[in-house]
Amino acid sequence: MTNIGIGVSDDYLSQFQKHSTEGYVTSYTLEIDFFDEGKVIGVINIIFDVIGYGVEGFDGGIDISYQVMYFQDPLNQEDYLDDNEAFIYIFSNYGNDIMNVVDLAYDALDDFYMKGTPLSQFANHFK
């Protein structure tokens, strides 16, 4: 594995209901795939919890969390890194790329809830 690339899943921002707490609106997930020679070797999900937009007494905000689904060991393709090792490897090597995607998604969600801008604008960055 020498030329690992990253790509945003075609689902872009997928909405789902995670939990119901005070001020919670909804959640979105964004999948980033890591691939080598066309084969997916790792996946990380980025979860955006939308809180407070349109809820009386709350300012709008978005909490972000990350979930490593799996990642092949770059030194031994027969094995997978454990979650902590994968997280460190991914963010050490691809942190800037991931943060660029996160910033675009955050801005798209904020614009959607503040201005009504369609979320499809986010997908246009990757087509």
Confidence of residue 120 (pLDDT cuts 50, 70, 90): confident
Q: How far, in Å, CA of 123 to CA of 13, rounded?
A: 8
Paired residues of 36 in beta bridges: 39
State the pLDDT at residue 127: 60
State the pLDDT at residue 125: 76
**3-class SS letters over 59-83:** CCEEEEEEEEEEEECCCCCCCECCH
Alpha helices, DSSP H, located in the chain: 83-115, 120-123
CB neighbours of residue 87 within 10 Å: 16
State the pLDDT at residue 63: 92
State the pLDDT at residue 22: 72
State the pLDDT at residue 47: 95
Q: Which tokens belong to 7?
A: 């790509």
CA angle 85, 88, 91 (to 5 degrees): 145
Of the CA atoms within 13 Å of residue 46, those in its CB half-sphere come to: 25
pLDDT over 80 at 114, yes or no: yes
> Model confidence over 60-113: pLDDT tens digits?
889 999 999 999 988 888 899 999 999 999 999 999 999 999 999 999 999 999
Of the CA atoms within 13 Å of residue 81, those in its CB half-sphere come to: 20
> Model confidence over 23-64: pLDDT tens digits?
778 899 999 999 988 889 999 999 999 988 877 777 788 999
